Structure 1
């Protein structure tokens, strides 16, 4: 029996078991609150599992390994900066969990008041990151499995997308979170074994470091091998990126209590930093073994092709688990925003709960079809995640953090929110069009100026 047949059969068996589990869970956990925020009852271990599975995925397994292949320990810098970006969540988690939010636009409405123009801007900006993540996961899966199996990437992307619906449709967040937990456990086991196999293939850690170019593998010089310009971009665009990622907010909302929500954020941040150390070592190992890859994002697939068949099959299941969890999380996040913040609020406010769940399922199919199309025609894993973070951060970071800090000062209104979001988008878009690699920095400055100007205006008007 060929390796491909064994691979597909094994994946089919594992996924079938998880699909059955999701279906049973969906039968037991019905209702829109389970679809949106997991019934606000996820225990701590499930919170950690679903958050970790969400921030992993195609970008980590494909994009960051490819980045390490080219720029070595710079990938670890990416991970540490991302970890630092989680810190504000530790301060905000209690307020977020106890405020009964369901989406990110709920935060803006709570702080800045209800206004149609502000809602539209917030909704559009909220959709950027999870939709970008959907495309990233599809691209990552297509590249890896096209390399392993020889099947065209567009075919693999389409098959994968269809399978992922089975994890979203039964119960939304509830089924996604629990399957994430299972997948997260598989990730840990698979990545540990992969690390030791990589060390064996490369002749040990020291040999790998000596075989790769010193400018990317020496420590600490390799931490900045990607260039300070890119690192500055990461500081402004990637480090705070998760603070505008609705998927993580929903997991905080879904926690069984505020204390566990806070703990899970801290643990997830540490786990992600460890995961990027893994990406770095795999990328450097492939660079040592094969320094002539045409596309760095094929490094993970090439690595797997060098491993024993039993591990290739096992690790392929790990990859499916990792990417599947992130994809299903992103789909669910996009669908919640579209059904709650658009359909329920503006199109059909009187829809009953059962019909709303059905609408959510139809929307899931539609948004995933759109993501598949973009993934096939624009297949760049890390590029999608970085770009989506950059524009989302430019628009929403200042309104969210500024709103949290000033929420009790009575100086914020819808005009402040609109000014901050628009100034962030314009600052980022204009500088990007002008050719600046640091366009997200200009977007953040613009957003901050927009918020400050309106806060001062409101404060002056209040005093007068």
Structure 2
């Protein structure tokens, strides 16, 4: 049996079982709310599993984090730990988010600042940027990894994988995505241990690895800073803001059975996210031992695939599919929810029935997937998609959301402050991006957003106070 045939068979079995499970989940409960927020009844193990499979482990970890492990040892753990920290910080918002039964990111802004059509449309666009960027990134990651192990052209792999993804999302939206993520999470967790042990043994054992890898990378805890403090400082601004404004994470809070369930699920997911960073470090360090001469660290994962025996490759291929599919389906569902709940329903068809919302959601799911296929084929940059989507989304959303949450019980918040901070955040990020600054361009966006938020809230709140205290004419 050829390697390609074994890989196709192993991944097909996994996907067929998962698709069948997805249709079953949607069949036993067909409520429209399941599409958006999973019926608000997900148990703790599903919340933990879907959050871990979606954010803690994805195509970025398979490619980028392993590359960091290759070049900087335990720094891949540092990288993932920063994302896990962002997940933990969201725990502090769980009670407030659950209390108000939000469905999407714009719901938060409406609660904090009141109704404003332009603000809601702007927040919706910003909320879509990150999951759509991830959607394209996962398609590119799948194509680049699988073309190296199957010999099939990326031009065929990406559309095929996209069609399969539709089978996970179309039946029941968030409900089917979350439960299949849970199944994928189990496969991912098992394979992190299996593949880690396998690669360490393939490299000659840990003793051989320690002798072969530079001490600044392999020693613990020194290796946590192997990438250099400057790089880690940049990671803080690149990763934390994105983790804190990722709508996919917020949706899992909304979908959980209770605040307690959401908190427990996110704590477990954060711990598993740290485990993913540990795995990426071990993989990268082991690959360096086997081949220290790769010119580009991001080629480490691809190089390893060419060295794995056919039997183990079939298992590892299923691992890759599980990892990428979980993030891909979640990102697609998140984009569609924004378009239906925040654009179509309030502004285009306010009296729409729940049945029609589900029908429109399914149509938009296909349209968004077609668009992402085209962009993934024409702009095949996994890390570029992820970096840009993190930057633009976070620079516009972080300050108004968390600044608003901190000041929610005060009288200092204004619509003008929220809108201005988002607009300036995006523009500042775009300018820094265009001039190609040495610092991550998101830093400039965050600074611009914060300064504008403070100034405009001060100016317009003072105006409102002035109008309130102005004596009425006789």
Same fold flag (TM > 0.5): yes
**Which residue of structure 2 aligns with residue 442 of structure 1?**
444
Alignment of 1:227-306 (within 5 A): 227-293=228-294, 295-306=296-307
Q: Which moved more, 1:227-236 or 1:106-115?
A: 227-236
1:143, 1:298 within 8 Å by CA — same for their partners in 2?
no
Query: Does structure 1 residue 460 correspond to structure 2 residue 436?
Result: no
**Distance of 1:160 and 1:70 partners within structure 2:** 30
Other structure's SS at 1:283 match: helix
How many residue pairs match? The answer is 464
User: CA contact under 8 A between 1:305 and 1:312: conserved in structure 2?
Assistant: no
Matches within 5 A, 1:105-116: 105-116=106-117
Q: Give the match for residue 471 of structure 2.
A: none
2-side partners of 1:128 and 1:389: how far apart?
A: 8
Deviation at 1:415, TM superposition (A): 0.9
Please say if 1:24 is aligned against 2:24.
yes
Distance of 2:350 and 2:446 partners within structure 1: 35
Matches within 5 A, 1:385-424: 385-424=386-425
What is the alpha-carbon distance in structure 2 between the residues aligned to residue 29 and residue 413 of structure 1?
Answer: 41
Unaligned runs of 5+ in 1: none
1:67-82 alignment, distance < 5 Å: 67-82=68-83
TM-score with structure 2 setting the length: 0.94
Q: Report the counterpart of residue 43 of structure 1 in structure 2.
A: 43
Tell me the CA shift for residue 346 of structure 1.
1.2
Matches within 5 A, 1:91-170: 91-170=92-171
SS at match of 1:88: helix
**2:416 and 2:457 in contact (8 A); partners too:** no
Deviations 1:328-382 (A, max 9, x none): 0000000000111111111122221112111111111111122122222222222
Question: Aligned to 2:146, what secondary structure does the other structure show?
Answer: helix
Which moves more between the two structures, 165-174 or 432-441? 432-441
What is the CA-CA distance between 1:227 and the residue it aligns to? 4.1
Cα distance, 1:295 vs structure 2: 4.5
Say which is worse superposed, 454-463 or 339-348, in terms of deviation. Answer: 454-463
**Separation (CA, whole Å) in 2 of partners of 1:216 and 1:379:** 30
**Cα offset for 1:214?**
4.1
More displaced stretch, 372-381 vs 36-45: 372-381
Task: Pick closer, same or farther for the CA change 1:229–1:425 going to 2, 3 Å.
Answer: farther
Q: Distance in 1 between matches of 2:250 and 2:428?
A: 26
Alignment TM-score, normalising by the size of structure 1: 0.96
Work out the CA distance in 2 between the residues paired with 1:149 and 1:295. 22
The answer on whether the counterparts of 2:3 and 2:310 sit within 8 Å (CA) in structure 1 is: yes
Q: Secondary structure at the match of 1:80?
A: helix
Cα distance in 1, alignment partners of residues 461 and 132 from structure 2: 37
Alignment check: 8 A CA contact 1:240 1:397 kept:
yes
RMSD (Å) for aligned C-alpha atoms? 1.7
Distance between the aligned counterparts of 1:367 and 1:75, measured in 2?
A: 32
Distance in 2 between residues matched to 1:90 and 1:23, nearest whole Å: 31
**Residue of structure 1 in register with 2:3 after alignment:** 3
CA offsets 1:75-95 (integer angstroms, 9 cap, x no match):
222112212222321210111
Task: Report the CA distance between 1:263 and its aligned residue.
Answer: 1.4
User: Which residue is 2:472 aligned to?
Assistant: none
* Whole-angstrom CA distance in 1 between matches of 2:192 and 2:157: 23
Distance in 2 between residues matched to 1:246 and 1:43, nearest whole Å: 19
Q: Residues of 2 paired with 1:80 and 1:255: CA distance?
A: 24
